[in-house]
Amino acid sequence: MLSGLEALRELQAGNRRFASDQPRDTGDTTERRRALARTQAPFAIILGCSDARVPAEIVFDQGLGDLFVIRVAGNIVAPSQVGSVEFAAEAFGTRLVVVLGHTNCGAIHATVQQLQRPWREQSRNLTSIVDRIRPAVEGLLDAPHADTEELEHRAVRANIRMSAGHLRHGSGVLEELIREHGLLVVGAEYSVETGVVDFFDGVPPG
């Protein structure tokens, strides 16, 4: 199994291939599928947004069995997501977790709109997502910003940092894996315009 840093380097290399239109042959053949039927060893866990434009396996140029992917609108962290990360990190020995947000995120847009115009009615289910994102966004509303686009861009990154921080400090299981076994939790933003992933939170120096 790759270390957290080695896994991060692999994702970075894969994203460079994707963004430059030079994908590799992932070897996703019938033979590969059969080999994975009874076992798996994903080298990275991705907690990403459900947005159709951000499929992690494609964005990172990976194949069957390479990534353990958890997708939810707004890449929020709720108990089920924490449990999924805990499961993969313990069951498979995976040592990298990436919280993957993206530009032009609809969940962020909905949250900003709701905070600016709280009269707007939302379903209880959508409200549960907005309420998870709200703490990351509220503090930005009073800060100087040029326009709503800039505000939402800042909110995307703030939400990624908050979700990554929640995983690092909101689970005894993950805290122990970080402390004792080198689990690495990082935050990243995918640009839907360029295809480039910017790893900007929790990335080790060097």
**CATH number for the domain including 43?**
3.40.1050.10
For position 175, what pLDDT does the model report? 98
86 close to 173: Cβ distance less than 8 angstroms:
yes
Query: 206, exposed or middle or buried, with CB in 10 Å at 0-12, 13-18, 19+?
Result: exposed
Which stretches of the chain drop beneath a pLDDT of 50?
A: none
Residue 105 located in a structural domain: yes
For position 86, what pLDDT does the model report? 98
- Give 128-163 pLDDT, tens digit per residue: 898 999 999 988 987 777 688 899 999 999 999 999
Residue 188 located in a structural domain: yes
Determine phi and psi for 97, rounding to 5 degrees: -120, 130
Q: What is the pTM of this model?
A: 0.94
Residue 206 located in a structural domain: no
For position 109, what pLDDT does the model report? 92
Residue 135 located in a structural domain: yes
What's the CA gap between 74 and 48, in Å, rounded?
8
For position 118, what pLDDT does the model report? 66
For position 127, what pLDDT does the model report? 85
Q: What is the total count of domains within the chain?
A: 1
For position 146, what pLDDT does the model report? 65
Q: Residue 28 belongs to what domain range? A: 4-201
What's the CA gap between 7 and 187, in Å, rounded?
14
User: CA 201: distance to chain centroid?
Assistant: 11
For position 125, what pLDDT does the model report? 85
